[in-house]
Amino acid sequence: MSDLNLTYQELVELTHFKLSKKQAEALRFMGIEHRVRPDGSVAVLRSHVERIMGGNEPSKPVRAMITPSWENINAKAA
């Protein structure tokens, strides 16, 4: 199950809090979606944290800068 959700230790590392209530406050502050389980513990999807925090993002293709051929533009204007 640790593949789907962050482990307790990962939540402590992420939020710097051990208490579930404080973890939830920290996650809200960081804009990380989470759910509180019936036992009061916090559940956070690993994929959501990776997306929000920038991990496992597919690299974006580098786009070449297109510059106009000013010589052709000036020749047509004349």
Write out the two tokens for 68: 């106009």
Q: Is residue 6 part of a domain?
A: yes
Q: Is residue 4 part of a domain?
A: yes
Distance CA(55)–CA(33), nearest Å, equals 16
The string over 45-70, giving b where at least 16 C-beta atoms fall within 10 Å of a residue's C-beta and e elsewhere, is ebeebeeeeeeeeeeeeeeeeeeeee
The residues facing 5 across adjacent strands are 45
Domain holding 26, by residue range, is: 1-55
pTM of the model: 0.66
Distance CA(56)–CA(54), nearest Å, equals 7
pLDDT band at 62 (very low <50, low <70, confident <90, very high): low
Q: Is residue 72 part of a domain?
A: no
Q: Is residue 1 part of a domain?
A: yes
Q: Is residue 63 part of a domain?
A: no
Total structural domains in the chain? Answer: 1
Query: Beta-strand (E) ranges in the chain?
Result: 35-36, 42-43
Q: Is residue 66 part of a domain?
A: no
Write out the two tokens for 23: 């973890």
- For residue range 11-53, what is the model confidence (pLDDT) as tens digits? 999 999 999 999 999 999 999 999 999 999 999 999 999 998 8
Q: Is residue 60 part of a domain?
A: no
pLDDT band at 7 (very low <50, low <70, confident <90, very high): very high
